[in-house]
Amino acid sequence: MKENIPNHVAIIMDGNGRWATKRGKKRTAGHLEGSKTMEKLAIHAIKRGVKVLSVYAFSTDNFKRSEEEVNYLMNLFIKMFKSKMKIFDKEGIRVIFSGRKHPLRDDVIDAMEYISSNTKNNKNGILNICLNYGGQEEIVDASKRIINDVSNGILSIDDLNKDSFYKYLYQDLDPIDLLIRTSGEYRVSNFMLYQMSYAEFYFTDTLFPDFLESEFDKAIDSFQKRNRKFGNVITK
Ligand code: IPE
Ligand code: IPE
Ligand code: MG
């Protein structure tokens, strides 16, 4: 059944560290488990008819963490993008990225480029991986590109509106319909601020590594019961 499936779902994948600590493991073990969950969810979400799944993999502020944790995550990204390319490709998933390149390592950028270029013709759905991503940074970066285009005569100020603004974001995607945050935190932590203007929010105490397909389906069920109004007066 595909009716009323959210077109764009975004997930703040939180709670990896706590998942590991609770089991007496190092925080990095939680990141490894979380990466497996992310792969399963991407395949599942696209199979359910979601067209875009945005996942918050690493924020610009996550560079504040220990060098050991940051390095582990960067190496995990490289491993994942290289080893999972074929699986995502087989599922018809196009992998794209949002975020700043600087100060990512060259080998991380190469792995990102590897998976995105090898899946670029896929049509079933998009996995948008937000890596070294910040929502305020994205709006600032977009503003700079807009100012550039205006100064170079490529864009007329009158043609800038809330829809054309999307073209200046890291990726030109539809607005978010459903935003999920795991691990019992009730904040957006600088995620996709522009795109979430009318998103429905779904919060769960489940820690991200345990947020498997059936938990995702619960979020979809909840979304399907919502009454979206977009400022209008609508009764269901
Ligand atoms: C989310 O899990 C993954 C990243 C931010 C990279 P955390 O690492 O934030 O896990 P907690 O919040 O410390 O449990
Ligand atoms: C948000 O989680 C970033 C990612 C999930 C990648 P954080 O764990 O970094 O957010 P805060 O620090 O709790 O707000
Ligand atoms: Mg966290």
Judged against a pLDDT cut of 90, whether residue 120 lies above it is answered with yes
- Residue 20 has a pLDDT of 98
In one-letter notation, the amino acid at residue 58 is: F
Backbone dihedral angles phi then psi of residue 148, each to the nearest 5 degrees: -60, -50
d(CA 177, CA 196): 8
Mean pLDDT of 119-131: 98
Residues with a catalytic annotation lie at 14, 62
Of ligand 2's listed atoms, the one at least distance from the Cα of 14 is: 5
- Residue pair 146/113 in contact (Cβ under 8 Å)? The answer is no
The confidence score (pLDDT) of residue 212 equals 99
Overall average pLDDT of the 112-116 stretch? 98
Q: Is the pLDDT of residue 236 over 90?
A: no
Distance CA 73, CA 75 (A): 5
Say which residue the tokens 């991200």 belong to.
Answer: 208
- Domains, the chain, with CATH or none: 8-224 (3.40.1180.10)
- Amino acid 168: pLDDT: 98
Mean pLDDT score of the chain, rounded to an integer? 97
Average pLDDT over residues 115-138: 98
CA–CA distances in Å: residue 189 to residues 53, 63, 105, 184: 18, 14, 23, 13
**Is there a cis peptide before residue 103, judged by omega within 30 degrees of 0?**
yes
CB 130 near ligand 2, within 6 Å:
no
**What gap in Å lies between CA 58 and CA 14, rounded to an integer?**
10
* Residue 235: CB atoms within 10 Å: 5
**Tokens representing residue 46 in the block:** 């696209």
* 19 Cα–ligand 1 center, Å: 9
Here the tokens at position 31 are 């990141």
Place of tokens 């459903």: 178
φ/ψ of 161, rounded to 5, equals: -150, 180
pLDDT, mean of residues 154-182: 98
Q: Mean of the pLDDT values across residues 107-118?
A: 98
Instruction: Tell me the CA–centroid distance for residue 103 and ligand 3, in Å.
Output: 21
